[in-house]
Amino acid sequence: MYNLSCAYGYRYPGSEPIYIVDIIPLATGLAAAASDQSIRLFDPQRLNQGPLKRLQTDHGNLTSTKSFNSVDSIICTTGENGTISLWDLRLDSANAQVLRIQGDGTSLLSLACSGQTNGVAAGTELANHQASILLWDLRSTSAPKIQYNEVHSDDVTELNFHPKNPNFLLSGSTDGLVNVCDTTITDEDEVVVQAFNHGSVHRAGFLNDSEVYALSHDEKFALYDMAEAAEKGTATLDAGDIRTVVGCQYVANVVPKMNGAGAVIGAGSQDQEMFRLIHLSKNAAQSPWSLDSDTVVGLPGAHGSELVRSFCLFDEQQVVFTAGEDSFIKAWRP
């Protein structure tokens, strides 16, 4: 295992701990979403100098933050009051909220964004025996252009658009299903083009054009293939409880590589005060996917005994950023 060292960091002020739940790399810096319902923008190279700007969201409880356009530094947020906000982080704090979509009051738990199609999808919690996926065209936001009420039967916890075809939307739910929908289809009997029964979904997303990963709330990890030649619904890699496979207590997230050739799994152990980056590699050999134990990167000390909630990689600068429940954002270097 190759260890990195904490080079610098920033602690959110206050006597009560603030959970930093997500960090998102943008052209103008590093955006961080926190449990005080704020969005802060940092200079990644001067993290310890504090935020460049702070925005206060009004969702009641901030549940999801996604990049809408990282080049233009536009992000999207949502929360328990069912509203969605679009923020342009190039603008000053007073004018940064450039769009607000008023929902019907049902709490929204998940988001997916497509700058290519000006589309935003949101997933609701289960309310009145219904969990929905709503899709808006941001050029006309008076009402969702599509609403699916029968794709899932419980909280919609994860949404992601396909990396190349934004008509395909992946969704995950506590009902156990990971579905891929063709959003050009409005008929709910026909919209799901592929379904995988994985278990209550914590994280899920596309690894490449056809393969997806899923991580359950009880840390079961598997890969699936939506290609026509693949066996329908069957995992191509079933790792079972990922904690026993990689020797951790929890998985924070899975970050796919841009070239579609793998992903990085961020796994933590509070009792060891250690966070590890484990490479999921795709090979041309008989076993196409493997967890590469030879290239594990360790972050000793991590966030102490607190959970790491998010991480991101700046490969060109050779720096890793982590954020946790100890109120810290940290930068790690060789």
pLDDT for residue 284 is more than 60: no
The tens digit of pLDDT for each residue in 250-277 reads 999 999 987 767 899 999 999 999 999 9
Can you spell out the DSSP letters for 66-102?
EEEETTTTEEEEEETTS-EEEEETTS-GGG-EEEEE-
- Quick one: pLDDT at residue 64? 98
**DSSP structure class, residue 229:** T
In a domain? residue 307: no
Is residue 269 a part of any domain in this protein? no
Q: Where does the pLDDT of residue 285 fall: very low under 50, low under 70, confident under 90, or very high at 90 and above?
A: low
Residue 334, pLDDT > 70, answer: yes
pLDDT, average across residues 280-285: 74
Domain limits for position 170: 15-247
Q: What is the pLDDT of residues 111-124, one digit of tens each?
A: 999 999 999 999 99
Dihedral (CA of 152, 63, 82, 93) sign: negative
Identify the CATH number of the domain in which residue 190 sits: 2.130.10.10
Sheet holding 119-124, edge to edge: 108-114, 119-124, 131-137, 146-152
Biggest CA-to-CA distance, the chain: 56
With b meaning 16 or more CB within 10 Å and e meaning fewer, what string describes 217-226? eebbbbbbbb
pLDDT at 291: 85
Q: Beta strand 2-3 with 289-300: parallel, antiparallel or unpaired? A: parallel
On whether residue 48 sits in a domain, the answer given is yes
- 99-146 pLDDT, tens digit per residue, is 999 988 899 999 999 999 999 999 999 999 999 999 999 999 999 999
Report the distance separating Cα 137 and Cα 116, nearest Å: 11
Residue 332 lies in a domain: no
Position 228 confidence tier, pLDDT thresholds 50, 70, 90: confident
Cα distance between residue 170 and residue 114, in whole Å: 13
**To the nearest whole number, what is the mean pLDDT of the chain?**
94
Q: Please tell me the predicted confidence (pLDDT) of residue 287.
A: 58
Per the domain annotation, does 41 fall within a domain?
Answer: yes
Q: What angle do CA 175, 32, 84 make, to 5 degrees?
A: 55
317 found inside a domain: no
Answer for the pair 87, 98: CB distance below 8 angstroms, yes or no. Answer: yes
How many domains does the chain divide into? 1
* DSSP-assigned states of every residue in 244-307: HHHT-SEEEEEEE-TTSSEEEEEEEETTTTEEEEEEEEE-SSSS-EEEEEEEEEEEETTTTTSP
Report how far residue 301's alpha carbon sits from residue 308's, in angstroms, rounded to the nearest whole number: 11
pLDDT of res. 316:
78
pLDDT for 11 beyond 70: yes
147 vs 285 pLDDT, higher one: 147
| Comparison of pLDDT for 230 and 54, the residue scoring more | 54
pLDDT grade, residue 82 (50/70/90)? very high
- Tell me the per-residue pLDDT of 177-215, one tens digit each, with 9 for 90 and over: 999 999 999 999 999 999 999 999 999 999 999 999 999
Q: Which two tokens stand for residue 307?
A: 């959970």
pLDDT grade for 229, boundaries at 50, 70 and 90: low
User: For residues 190 and 10, what is the distance between their CA atoms, to the nearest angstrom?
Assistant: 49
Evaluate whether residue 189 is within a structural domain.
yes
- H or E stretch covering 123: strand 119-124
**pLDDT value at residue 132:** 97
Rounded to 10 degrees, the C-alpha dihedral 156/160/166/170 comes to: -60
Q: What is the pTM of this model?
A: 0.95
Between 325 and 1, residue with greater pLDDT: 325
Q: What is the pLDDT of residue 279?
A: 93
